[in-house]
Structure 1
Amino acid sequence: MSASVQRVAVLGGHGKTGRAVCEALAARGVGAVALGRSDWPDLAVAVAGCEAAYVIAPNLHPDEPAYVASALAALLAGGVGRVVYHSVASPYAPAMPHHMGKAACEDLVRRSGLAWTILQPGAYLQNLDLTGPLDLPYSPDVPFGFLDLSDLGRAAAVVLTQEGHAGATYELATRAATVRELADEAGVEVRRVPDPGTHPWLSAMFAYYDAHGLPVGDRVLKSLIG
């Protein structure tokens, strides 16, 4: 597959995840076409000439299945043969509405008629500001599988450009740790604070994290990127 993939459309390519994917593709000599909301009305035209696409929905999208269904239709109309969908670790978690949206999207992707791969990333390491005291609205002692953005980009570039990944679903984590362990390594204090209540889906996520964390193994990522 690597010889035939010269251009990849990255839907959501201007955000931090999309930039990591575009940078990793560029490092492999593959052209990355970063697409955003302004491209949506003519998405089928924008993706024409791309052999594959990486689909990232906006964070906390109110109807991610509708967004992904529209994206898949545009990819088919534009002649794109391969799609990699950016999901989440543990998508079927009924207590977290935005995870459930991604579970529904995974089903759409699998039935799209495109050659597909699904990536299920753990929590980003970059979401934790370890430069000073860390305020956390959930327990710092629950297990997580944390993913470095650069590793996500490298894994995405591998499955987009190499053979053998069609029909695969991969959970991705760089390392397993608790937030307290990361804070201790960085030499910063971690402080438990109340849920700020900025979004009901985030509140649901914090409650789930407090009870269960979000554990993800790291062996799959190592097998993909070495």
Structure 2
Amino acid sequence: MRTAVLGGTGKTGRAVAAALERRGHEVVPLGRAAWADLPAALVGCEAAYLVAPNMHPDESGYARTAVSALRATGVPRVALHSVVAPYAPAMPHHLGKAAAEDVVRRSGLAWTVLQPGAYLQNLDLSRTVRIAYRADAPFGFADLADVAEAAAVVLTEPGHEGATYELASRRATVADLAAEAGVDVEVVSPARWAATDGAALDARVRDWLLAMFAYYDAHGLPAGTLPLRTLLGR
């Protein structure tokens, strides 16, 4: 099967492409340049994995463009990369993914939605972990390799059309992960993070991340592990 990975040059797209290739499938990784003529880039594809760039300002528009190209080219199958708790009004980038899910569900294509938790790979556990939310907040963390393998499963095996899967590899807190790695956790105020780590970011991205940190501090981002274990047969 020939599968397009839209957003295929980012870390998630590369991981999904590698998982598909391990299953013997031909992969067409499509980065931003391909969007100039997306239908042409999709010719010959039988399925697509759709992942938006991180903190994209208009994920529903991104999804609409992709869906339009898939339909124009006759690609019947799509899997969307979303997020755990997409309808969380306090987090603008999660709401963007909720809107993208709606676009895909109304596309007329055979669709699957994957909702990964926070990536384990987003934490550098080789040194003191610096965060702007409480260290004991509960999370359903997702390993990028597990998410990629799940994407390959739903795109290449039957029975996943019309399904939405929440994906977490393990339940833990940042404090748990740091203790296992033998490193410390430094919790800083959102204002200090904004003035240091976040100072060079675009103002919109910085504000969206601050909203995310506030949500994490209040609620964490918990997710169950059973769907991923079931998909991967573990």
Structure 2 residue aligned with 1:190: 185
Identical-pair percentage? 64
Q: Pick the aligned partner of 1:163 from 151, 155, 158.
A: 158
1:69 counterpart letter in structure 2:
R
Is 1:220 the counterpart of 2:227? The answer is yes
1:99-122 superposed Cα distances (whole Å, 9 cap, x missing partner): 011111111100001000000000
Structure 1 residue aligned with 2:141: 146
Is 1:42 the counterpart of 2:37? The answer is yes
Q: Secondary structure at the match of 2:214?
A: helix
**CA distance in structure 2 between the aligned counterparts of 1:79 and 1:44, rounded to whole angstroms:** 9
1:83-130 superposed Cα distances (whole Å, 9 cap, x missing partner): 000000000000001101111111110000100000000000000000
Give the deviation of 1:79 after TM superposition.
Answer: 1.2
Instruction: Name segments (4+ residues, structure 1) moved above 2 Å.
Output: 194-198
**CA distance in structure 1 between the aligned counterparts of 2:69 and 2:36, rounded to whole angstroms:** 10
Structure 1 residue aligned with 2:78: 83
Q: Secondary structure at the match of 1:123?
A: coil
For residues 115-154 of structure 1, the aligned pairs below 5 Å read 115-154=110-149
**CA distance in structure 1 between the aligned counterparts of 2:140 and 2:229, rounded to whole angstroms:** 13
TM-score w.r.t. structure 2 length? 0.93
Structure 1 residue aligned with 2:203: none
**CA distance in structure 2 between the aligned counterparts of 1:223 and 1:67, rounded to whole angstroms:** 30
For residues 162-181 of structure 1, the aligned pairs below 5 Å read 162-181=157-176
What RMSD over aligned residues (CA atoms) do the two structures have, in Å? Answer: 0.7
Q: Pick the aligned partner of 2:217 from 206, 210, 223.
A: 210
Gaps of 5+ in 1: 1-5
**CA distance in structure 2 between the aligned counterparts of 1:88 and 1:94, rounded to whole angstroms:** 14
Structure 1 residue aligned with 2:100: 105
1:86 counterpart letter in structure 2:
H
Say how many residue pairs are matched. Answer: 221
**CA distance in structure 1 between the aligned counterparts of 2:228 and 2:157, rounded to whole angstroms:** 15
**CA distance in structure 2 between the aligned counterparts of 1:154 and 1:71, rounded to whole angstroms:** 22
1:122-160 superposed Cα distances (whole Å, 9 cap, x missing partner): 000000000011111111101100011100110000000
**CA distance in structure 1 between the aligned counterparts of 2:52 and 2:99, rounded to whole angstroms:** 13
1:221 counterpart letter in structure 2:
L
Give the deviation of 1:194 after TM superposition.
Answer: 2.3
Q: Secondary structure at the match of 1:221?
A: helix
Give the deviation of 1:48 after TM superposition.
Answer: 1.1
